[in-house]
Amino acid sequence: MITSIILPWTIGAFALALLLAGYRLMIGPSLADRILALDTLYINVCALLILVGIFFGTPHYFEAALLISMLGFVGTVVLSKFILRGDIAE
């Protein structure tokens, strides 16, 4: 019963956080702010997918969240390396 009450509110909160991170991604004053917003964006997407998977009771959303988290981590590392060195490959 508690999950049927609280789960829609948490999904809404993460959806709002997703919108705010997308807003920061679009208007970020610097490149570092945009990379941090992208990092926050994929973390919020993973949390949202896990909550939706709990809500619907299917494991497919968990697999998608795992895939997005792995790709998001690699993307953040590559973008940070690009900012520091100006080149991705050595």
First to last CA, the chain: 54
In this prediction, residue 4 carries a pLDDT of 82
Tell me if 49 sits within 8 A of 65, measured CB to CB.
yes
Answer yes or no: is pLDDT of 90 > 90. Answer: no
Average predicted confidence (pLDDT) for the chain: 90
User: What pLDDT is stored for residue 83 in this prediction?
Assistant: 86
Q: Which pTM does this prediction carry? A: 0.84
How many C-beta atoms lie closer than 10 Å to residue 42's C-beta? 19
Domain 2-85 has CATH 1.10.30: no
Instruction: Sketch the domain layout of the chain as residue ranges.
Output: 2-85
pLDDT single digits (tens) 2-46: 678 899 999 999 999 999 999 999 998 998 899 899 999 999 999
Q: CA 26, 32, 38, 41 torsion: positive or negative?
A: negative
- DSSP code, position 87: -
